[in-house]
Structure 1
Amino acid sequence: MKQNVLKIHPNDSVLVALTDLEPGERVQNDGNSLIVTEAIPAKHKLAIQAFEPGDSITMYGVLVGKAKHAIPAGGRLTTFNVQHATNSYDLHAAAYQWTAPAVDQWQNQTFMGYHRSDGSVGTGNYWLVIPLVFCENRNIQVLEDALVNDLGYGRKKSYQRQTEELKALVQAGRTVEEVLQADLQTAEQSLNGQLRLFPNVDGVKFLIHDGGCGGTRQDAQALCGMLAGYVTHPNVAGATILSLGCQNAQVSMLQEEIQKRSPQFDKPFFVLEQQTIGTEESLISQALRQTFAGLMQANTTVRKPAPLSKLVIGLECGGSDGFSGISANPAVGHASDLMVALGGTVILSEFPELCGVEQELCDRAVDAETASRFRELMNTYAQRAQEVGSGFDMNPSPGNIRDGLITDAMKSAGASKKGGSSPVVAVLDYPEPVRKPGLNLLCTPGNDVESTTAEVASGATVVLFTTGLGTPTGNPITPVIKIASNTTLANRMPDIIDINTGTIIDGEETIQQAGERILEHIIRVASGDLEIAAVRHGQDDFIPWKRGVSL
């Protein structure tokens, strides 16, 4: 018989409903029976004990809220009767002891990657075209129109046939109802019928943004640091930069940030300044010639074997649900621990979604300085959020709440499971690059795309993205592997989901087995043997963080 509830931690005062529960239904908890007092949808939580106003509510072994109103044993926890609450935390001197998982079967395994002169290894080989300021966005789009399709990088799915069919219905005088009920066909494009001109280049990507001027000098510096992270990224072969000339984000600022990250930077790198060159035609013609020259150089790089220790894995979640913290996130956490044990690097970000688990992460820090920096960045972020009237408690989205994540602490306790149990070797402030193998914490917002964009800027060559509700998020240069927390989602949105860990909820495999399956998937994607959904759809999401309050 399938289990209908789950107690995550021995000290928890709530159970997770694994299936829809009806009033009067009897469930088992630690050998004791509990009567459900009201309808409780799957993913939501029910009280093990009766709560009075002010009582603490524990989940994942940590404080995740306090009762606002009385809740009977067997009652449902909601935003009406529970409010966000967390414990305070401090630095501890005791050394963290970690038992690494066995990785013998992967110890000598390799992936096929692109080797760079600085010793890093990419999982892709992309050329970037980047505006230093939003004023150049139109010129970037002109270059995109001129380059993408003709070089064989056009998107594969076209809805043009559907438009033609609808047009024909309107011209034939069909009714609104007939148009709404029309059975339309989707056509698959053949990339204009031609092969790629540069077969060893995975794509030409255009990083359009709305920054570079009009904000603070700190915004410009952060933008240049983030863009430098992309230019120097292992997945990038070279870049074409378009500058207007008068903006805050100057070329010299970008070059300084590049030197910080790669003192021996030697990739093809072309900078064109419109106010110096003159006409649009001259600018575009010169940019096209230089980009073609760079692509010819990039095309000489081929995939070669590399140890798994060269992988840098970003950990992300978006559209989370009440199952994320007990299936997808801990499965990714086990894959993270496997990567660390193999000498690789992982990045855990989204600081608003680490609220309530600060003590655990401080305790896992390799030294007091690392723990202290994490506390400082968390406190500063929380304070700035409160100053504008948006504390961390306002992080859960309507979709999160609807599917059982009713407080930020509850959401955070599950989200942090992506980081596994390995020691925290470094804490990075956006947009710093990773420099140490092991688990790195990166200060970013909880916003999916801002955080994913930042992880890649810090060096992530593959991103694991868990979701319970479904989100198509991708990245221009790094594959974002989408992992479903539940089988219903995986079946409903198979076009955006790469891996289903709902098998854990269904009782078909353990967290450890799912984590090992994720690692095998990473190796295939990193080697270019498997195209993921976000790449297949051309999902090139890119949003730089301006360091304002973003939850």
Structure 2
Amino acid sequence: MNKLTQYLQIHPADNVLVALQDLEEGHNISFNGIEFKLPNRVKAKHKFSLYDLPQDSEILMYGVLVGRNKNELRRGELLTTLNTEHATEEFTLKERKLNWNIPDTDRFSERTFKGYVRSDGKVGTANHWLVIPLVFCENKNIEVLKDALKEELGYQAIKNYQAETRQLIELYQAGKTIEEIISVDLDGSEDVRGSKRIFRNVDGVKFLTHSMGCGGTRLDSDSLCGLLAGYITHPNVAGATVLSLGCQHAQASILKKEIYARCATFDKPLYILEQQKYGTEERMIQAAIKSTFTGLMQANQHERQDAPLSKLTIGLECGGSDGFSGISANPAVGYASDLLVALGGSVILSEFPELCGVEQELSDRCVDEQTALKFMNLMKNYNKRAEEDGSGFYANPSPGNIRDGLITDAIKSAGAAKKGGTSPIVDVVDYPNVCTKPGLNLLCTPGNDVESTTAEVGAGANVVLFTTGLGTPTGNPVAPVIKISSNTTIFEKMNDIIDVNCGTIIEGEESIKEAGERILDYVISVASGELQPKAVQLGQDDFIPWRRGISL
């Protein structure tokens, strides 16, 4: 693309074009010998027909079926939810297609990152201590521990807004009216960076809460134990304090079993405290404070050291996607993914509802038939359960997605899958298990941003690349989440939460290859502790376990 490009055909087989800027009614379109005037205005990110299409014609984008038109479409007509509906091709087991676009890795072949080497051979990009509940009954005690420890140890939020509240109190006490208070300009948040951090080698003490552990299905409580075990054994985690009530479904014995299933040589400090054994809350809280403090003393002994890039496992995520995501940020992340795979590292592509429509391509890329069948079965069963609940994969796009050009789930999915690059798929992993093979892994998760990011980290991602076209503050407690914009407008508008801009691709200032290499450079700096992504700076510690019921 160059700076004068106004519209784009993504794949030679496509029968629609994507507007890269607002195109007014009557705008002249000249493409591959075809010339016509737009019959209506087309906003940037939206699609219009390249041909006259009879009713029920196939709509092709990214070279795959992404929808059908409900009525006849004129050449140049805007695609909307009123005239286009979701449609995908059937998928079956076919021959393996394992050839891929192996990138030139010379620029990265000698690179390393500075990480925390664990006894099991994994390498962390951060060094955290976890304080987590086995059941929601302990959430209040988690908050008590947070109040007791976080600020005293120097892990308070980088910014707080107490100054704004004090200013409003003063205005109220001075007798100001509601209208006067609404109109006042507040002085701004306070920077309270942790200069008094006691344990210099511990990046954070993370206090997680959730609404699970009892009262639901045993499948959910067992999955919770598996997810928590994934976090406790995670290379970015030095150890954990776990609070248990004692009588819940998610028993400590199940948690321990899941821990050793993931790491047979597990040797991190782990303290599990059961309230019903301690009796009073005070006794348990005091024991938890002492255990956590001594655990932090052990965690502080770890220091960063050089590690090969093959020790990186990158989670691939998107949220608040737009019509540019699939042609800028996602392909750039895909190129970075291919680079890391070629260097011996691992990547995790998840969000199965957002792979709807590209199942054939992905199953063909699986290294063997058994892996392909596992992927296809997971997709079919997940969609079947969603439809039984009254909402199949077709219902995945959000109002924001639709407003910005992703009018069917298949259009959204075809662009979202670009994050996975072109390499063969080495494994298909079901939630909440861990990805253990170097290369591209598929992880079954919902499309919900936070649930999926939570799952990817539980599966071993020590960095997450998160693309967005509309903007989102999502982060994670233990793995740094790098936010990547699909367009320059949102990058400039929300630059307090977005790290990398790929709008340069849309504007013709940078190729996908150049952006992908720039992303990997950024990952290496983050993994080494040299840069903190915005989500980390803001303390964005989102954590939502997936209830295996229906979540798209």
TM-score, normalising length: structure 1: 0.99
Q: Is the 8 A contact 1:474 1:540 kept in 2?
A: yes
2:178 is aligned with 1:167: no
Take 1:510 and 1:536, find their aligned partners in 2: how far apart are those partners? 29
Q: Is the deviation greater in 251-260 or in 92-101? A: 92-101
Match of 2:509 in 1: 508
Query: For 1:46, which of 45, 48, 58 is the aligned residue?
Result: 48
CA contact 2:131–2:242 (8 Å) conserved in 1: yes
Q: Contact conserved, 1:311 with 1:344, CA < 8 A, in 2?
A: yes
Aligned amino acid, residue 80 of structure 2: T
Aligned to 1:130: 132
1:30 corresponds to 2:44: no
Distance 1:362 1:34 in 2: 39
How does 1:471-482 map onto structure 2 within 5 Å? Answer: 471-482=472-483
How has the CA–CA distance of structure 1 residues 189 and 255 changed in structure 2, closer, same or farther, with 3 Å as cutoff? same
**In 1, Cα distance between the equivalents of 2:16 and 2:95?**
32
Provide the C-alpha distance between the structure 2 equivalents of 1:93 and 1:74, rounded to a whole number of angstroms. 37
Q: Give the match for residue 417 of structure 1.
A: 418
Match of 1:212 in 2: 213
Q: Matched residues in 2 for 1:94 and 1:442: separation?
A: 20
Q: Following the alignment from structure 1 to structure 2, what is the Cα–Cα distance between the partners of residues 470 and 427?
A: 29
Superposition pairs of residues 255-404 of structure 1, within 5 angstroms: 255-404=256-405
* Whole-Å separation in 2 of the counterparts to 1:278 and 1:178: 52
Secondary structure at the residue paired with 1:305? strand
Instruction: Provide the secondary structure at the position in 1 that maps to 2:201.
Output: coil
Residue 287 of structure 1 aligns to which amino acid in structure 2?
A
For 2:209 and 2:451, the matched residues in 1 are separated by 14
**CA deviation profile, 1:403-437 (whole Å, cap 9, x unmatched):** 00000000000000000000000000001101100
Q: Deviation at 1:30?
A: 2.0
- Aligned-residue offset at 1:53: 1.7
How far apart in 2 are the matches of 1:213 and 1:190? 38
Per the TM alignment, residue 130 of structure 1 is displaced from its structure 2 partner at its CA by 0.8
Cα offsets for 1:451-477 (capped at 9, x unmatched): 000000000000000000000000000
Superposed, 1:487-526 pairs within 5 Å as 487-526=488-527
Instruction: State the 1:189 CA deviation.
Output: 3.5
Q: For the structure 1 residues 272 and 476, does the alpha-carbon distance in structure 2 shift closer, same or farther, using more than 3 Å as the test?
A: same
Q: Give matches, 1:28-107, under 5 Å.
A: 28-107=30-109
Give 1:98 deviation, angstroms. 2.0
Is 1:225 aligned to 2:217, yes or no? no
SS at match of 1:290: helix
Q: Check whether the contact 1:465–1:480 (CA below 8 A) recurs between aligned residues.
A: yes
Offset of residue 31 of structure 1: 3.7
Aligned partners of 1:377 and 1:443 also within 8 Å: yes
What is the CA distance between 1:108 and its match in structure 2? Answer: 1.4
- The corresponding residue for 1:532 is 533
The one-letter code sitting in structure 2 at the alignment partner of 1:377 is L
Contact 2:10 2:62 in 1 (8 A): yes
Q: Tell me if the contact between 1:320 and 1:468 (Cα under 8 Å) persists in the aligned partners.
A: yes
User: Identity of counterpart residues, as a percentage?
Assistant: 63
Aligned residue for 1:176? Answer: 178
Partner AA of 2:513 in structure 1: Q
- Alignment match of 1:158 (pick from 134, 157, 160): 160
Code of the residue aligned with 2:56 in structure 1: it is G
Distance 2:44 2:101 in 1: 34
2:20 to 18, 21, 36: 18
**Residues 2 and 99 of structure 1, relative CA distance in 2, 3 Å threshold:** closer
Residue 324 of structure 1 and its aligned partner are, at CA, apart by: 0.3
The one-character-per-residue Cα deviations of 1:214-252 (angstroms, maximum 9, x if unpaired) are 011111110000000000000000000100000000000
User: Displacement of 1:27 after TM fit?
Assistant: 2.0
Q: Distance in 2 between matches of 1:94 and 1:349?
A: 21
DSSP 3-state at the match of 2:60 = strand
Matched-pair contact (CA < 8 Å) for 1:112–1:303: yes
Q: What is the distance in 2 between the residues matched to 1:175 and 1:142?
A: 37
CA distance in 2, matches of 1:521, 1:189: 25
* C-alpha displacement of 1:175: 3.3
Work out the CA distance in 1 between the residues paired with 2:253 and 2:74: 64
Contact 1:274 1:280 (8 Å CA) reproduced? yes
Structure 1 counterpart SS, 2:327: coil
Distance 1:279 1:269 in 2: 22
| 1:294 match: secondary structure | helix
Cα contact 2:96–2:368 (8 A) shared by 1? no
Gaps of at least 5 residues in structure 1 are none
Are the aligned partners of 1:485 and 1:502 in contact in 2 as well (CA < 8 Å)?
A: yes
How large is the Cα RMSD of the aligned pairs?
A: 1.0
3-state SS of 2:371 partner: helix
Listed one character per residue, the Cα deviations across residues 314-361 of structure 1 (whole Å, up to 9, x for unaligned) are 000000000000000000000000000000000000000000000000
- Residue aligned with 1:325, SS: helix
Instruction: Classify the secondary structure of the residue corresponding to 2:326.
Output: coil
State the 1:204 CA deviation: 0.3
Aligned-partner SS, 1:406? coil
TM-score of the aligned structures, taking structure 2 as reference length: 0.98
CA positional deviation for 1:162? 1.3
Q: Which moved more, 1:394-403 or 1:152-161?
A: 152-161
Distance 1:212 1:35, change over 3 A: same
Aligned equivalents of 1:142, 1:298: Cα separation in 2: 22
**2:66/2:411 contact within 8 Å kept:** yes
Contact 2:96-2:367 within 8 A present in 1 as well? no
Measure, in 1, the Cα distance between the counterparts of 2:386 and 2:192: 48
Native 8 Å contact 2:231 2:457 kept in 1: yes
Displacement of 1:95 in angstroms is 4.5
Aligned residues of 1:157 and 1:186 also touching (Cα < 8 A):
no
Paired residues of 2:96 and 2:365 also in contact (CA < 8 A)? no
Contact 2:159–2:193 under 8 Å retained in 1: no
CA distance in 2, matches of 1:271, 1:354: 39
Q: What's the secondary structure of 1:489's corresponding residue? A: helix
Structure 1 residue 191: Cα displacement: 4.6
How far apart, CA to CA, are the structure 2 residues paired with 1:411 and 1:42? 16
What SS does structure 1 have at the residue aligned with 2:66?
Answer: strand
Name the aligned partner's letter for residue 426 of structure 1.
D
Q: Does the 8 Å contact 1:131/1:243 carry over to 2?
A: yes
Q: Which one-letter code corresponds to 2:87 in the other structure?
A: A
Secondary structure at 1:200's aligned position in 2?
A: coil
Conservation of the 8 A alpha-carbon contact between 1:149 and 1:191: no
The one-letter amino acid paired with 1:431 is P
What is the Cα deviation at residue 99 of structure 1? 3.5
Cα distance in 2 for residues equivalent to 1:429 and 1:494: 35
- After the TM superposition, which residues 434-449 of structure 1 pair with which residues of structure 2 at under 5 Å, given as runs? 434-449=435-450
Q: Which runs of 5+ in 2 are unaligned?
A: none
- On the 8 A contact 1:43/1:322 being kept in 2, the answer is yes
Distance in 2 (alpha carbons) for counterparts of 1:458 and 1:389: 29
